[in-house]
Structure 1
């Protein structure tokens, strides 16, 4: 059973960026009708050289306060900076990734990293625990996926994002 204030992470793999984007669009539709609360999501792709690119939707702020930092923090935890081909993880990642890291075991990080390595693209979603049930009902089209509820408070992640945002200004 989901803890009301917990953070939920979903990573699904896809054969292409457009396939991952299609499920991202499903997530945005779920948010538009009020089926999911605050979340952050990114489509992650790998190029021929093995560089990881995080493609953010420019309207991320409508998803709640996390606005790009939470998904970027997950990507920052899974990949060494040398293979991240974009500046996607941003300034807020430090504090946010610290909160997420405390909620994950090494086995979780390994499992997330292995699944994201399997596809050519991935959809990374970080949000409130209510997201879990909405995604199950939506039947996303990922080839494979892993989803976990972290033992970390969504409110703590939100505070870390807000603090980092004020430090950047």
Structure 2
């Protein structure tokens, strides 16, 4: 049985960015309908040169307090900074990434990172553990996916996101 106060990570891969964005819209619709708590999501692409791009829409604040920081921090843990083609991971990697890192093994990090192959896209979702049931019911169309519940407090993530926001402003 899932803990009610943990963090849930989902990464699903798609043959192209358009299909990943379709599922991204499904997740946003679930949030609009009140089926999700606090979460962050992004479409991640890895181009033919091996650069990773984090693609967020203009309304990241609708995802709640984590708005852009949690998914960016996860991507920052999975890939070396030299191959990340966007600045989206920013200051959040330190604090938020530290909390996420505590909840994952090195094997988890490798599995998550290896899931995204060159030329593919992925949907990355980080949220409260209650999100896992909604994602399962949504029947997202990822070709492959990994989902993991972390023994990490969402309150710790909230605090780290707030601290990162003050460092940036």
Q: TM-score range with shorter-chain normalisation?
A: over 0.9
Contact persistence 1:14–1:119 (CA under 8 A): no
**Alpha-carbon shift at residue 116 of structure 1 (Å):** 2.1
Segments of 5+ residues of structure 1 without an aligned counterpart are none
**Alpha-carbon shift at residue 119 of structure 1 (Å):** 6.4
**Alpha-carbon shift at residue 117 of structure 1 (Å):** 2.9
Separation in structure 2 between the aligned mates of residue 57 and residue 38 of structure 1, nearest angstrom: 17
Q: TM-score, normalised by structure 2?
A: 0.97
Q: What's the counterpart of residue 2 of structure 1? A: 2
Q: CA 1:129–1:7 in 2, change beyond 3 Å: closer, same or farther?
A: same
Separation in structure 2 between the aligned mates of residue 78 and residue 117 of structure 1, nearest angstrom: 13
Separation in structure 2 between the aligned mates of residue 42 and residue 111 of structure 1, nearest angstrom: 18
Q: What's the counterpart of residue 124 of structure 1? A: 124
Comparing 105-114 and 13-22, the one that deviates more = 105-114
Q: Give the length in aligned residue pairs.
A: 169
Q: CA 1:141–1:119 in 2, change beyond 3 Å: closer, same or farther?
A: farther
Separation in structure 1 between the aligned mates of residue 118 and residue 7 of structure 2, nearest angstrom: 24
Segments of 5+ residues of structure 2 without an aligned counterpart are none
Q: What's the counterpart of residue 25 of structure 2? A: 25
* Structure 1 residue runs of 4 or more that deviate by more than 3 Å after TM superposition: none
Q: What's the counterpart of residue 135 of structure 2? A: 135
Comparing 112-121 and 49-58, the one that deviates more = 112-121
1:61 aligned to 2:57? no
Q: What's the counterpart of residue 39 of structure 1? A: 39
CA RMSD of aligned residues (A): 1.1
Separation in structure 2 between the aligned mates of residue 135 and residue 106 of structure 1, nearest angstrom: 25
Q: TM-score, normalised by structure 1?
A: 0.97
**Alpha-carbon shift at residue 93 of structure 1 (Å):** 1.8
Separation in structure 2 between the aligned mates of residue 104 and residue 13 of structure 1, nearest angstrom: 20
Contact persistence 2:77–2:93 (CA under 8 A): no
